[in-house]
Structure 1
Amino acid sequence: MTKKELSPGVKSALELGPVLIYLAAYFWFKDRPVTFAGEEYSGIVVAMAIFVPLSILGLGVSYALTGTASRMAVFTVVMVMVFGGLTVWLNNETFAMMRPTVVYGFFAVVLGVGLYVLGRSYLQFLMGPVLPLTDEGWRLFTRNWIAFFVFMALFNEFVWRVLGETAWVWLDTVGQFLLTLVFLVTQAPVLMRHGLDEDKDRQG
């Protein structure tokens, strides 16, 4: 199957659409719990019941249009299915709130094992063709991502356990996007200092 690139608008709709609907559903049902088969479901459980199929649909449409799906996207959707499914099935929002901790923790462990045990950067394997860096650059960039994932896992635990459900929903939707954006901005010095000039390399 031929791989195709999605337009920015379609890509944003597929990635952000389910998240925004999930956020809207939570606030709509937050004070309107749903009763089904004699059992009451809170806003976050209902929102998760909507979010799970939308996430699967978004990944499926993306794959149908491009012929490919990143391992990270597939893993994330699988985690949404597992923890979202448990949230709805057991009617317990704790599983939904723990999902980001597991996802971030998993990424931190995988990158950490690759960098500190196997001596390689899995980020370089994934992003090398589009982000040329020196070996030292990949080491620093990977190390910083590990630290960020550990921070996000711990911060997620703090938010849902201490600040509560509504604060966690904002973190799970808008907050994690903004924090990731801030983190990427802070990585600019590393990328500029250790970036490779491919044109000069080819001329040399």
Structure 2
Amino acid sequence: MAERKVPGWLKTALDFGPVLAFFAAFFLLKEDTYPLFGREVKPFILITAGFVPLLVICMGALWALTGRLSRMQVMTLVLVVVMGGLTVLLNDELFLKLKPTILYAAFAGILYVGLWRGKSYLAYVMEEFLPMTPEGWIILTGRFAHFFVALAVLNTVIAFALSDAVWVSVKTFGLPIALFAFVMSQYRIFEDHGIAEEGDKDA
């Protein structure tokens, strides 16, 4: 089924709204503990209890509006529900903190399997928007796989060694900025292995 068109601002709000709401709520809540299901919990746990259903609602709305969700969105949603649910149930923020580690490790594993088979699974996702030679895709896929491993290790270190506030800040802004910077740093591959569109060749 073809994806239905929705306003870009609405799609962006549904995609990133829950994460930004989590960030804002974390730094707005001032008390050390809050009541939740008959017990006192830290702000992180309370916000997680609201974040999980909010993400489910937003992803449901996105699916209803567009007619589809990407594999990454589905994987993220499943991990948030499972790890967020364990975070609230067991009153331990470490479960939700390790969600990015699992996600990045899964991405790296999938890309490594593809490379082992001589294929670029990254190309299956991005080739339509970024035409490149097969050699270029193999190189870029290997670098992305290494990068996702680094992100998984980084998130794990921050989750165990640093404060909730540091993790929330890095997760909300640091990791997306790192991903953007990494993509921008690969410009030489795009130049050396990019394939011009037919319209560009004729121009």
Instruction: Please tell me the TM-score bracket, short chain as reference.
Output: over 0.9
Measured after TM superposition, the shift of residue 197 of structure 1 is: 1.2
Q: Which runs of 4+ in 1 moved over 2 A?
A: 5-8, 28-32, 200-203
Instruction: Check if 1:35 corresponds to 2:35.
Output: yes
* Aligned residues of 1:15 and 1:58 also touching (Cα < 8 A): yes
User: Corresponding residue for 1:149?
Assistant: 148
Measured after TM superposition, the shift of residue 127 of structure 1 is: 1.6
Q: Which runs of 5+ in 2 are unaligned?
A: none
User: Corresponding residue for 2:47?
Assistant: 47
**Distance across 2 between alignment mates of 1:18 and 1:51:** 6
User: Corresponding residue for 2:84?
Assistant: 84
Instruction: Check if 1:20 corresponds to 2:25.
Output: no
User: Corresponding residue for 1:171?
Assistant: 170
Give CA-to-partner distance per residue, 1:26-68, whole Å, 9 cap, x none. 1233534212344111111111111111111121111111111
User: Corresponding residue for 1:61?
Assistant: 61
Aligned residues: 202
Structure 1's 37 and 123: CA in aligned 2 closer, same or farther, altered over 3 A? closer
TM-score, normalisation: structure 2? 0.92
RMSD: 1.8
- The alignment partner of 2:4 has SS state of coil
Q: Within 5 Å, give how 1:120-139 maps onto structure 2.
A: 120-139=119-138
Instruction: Check if 1:102 corresponds to 2:132.
Output: no
Q: Which runs of 5+ in 1 are unaligned?
A: none
Moved more, 128-137 or 192-201: 192-201
**Distance across 2 between alignment mates of 1:79 and 1:123:** 21
* Aligned residues of 1:30 and 1:42 also touching (Cα < 8 A): no
Determine what percentage of the aligned residue pairs are the same residue: 39
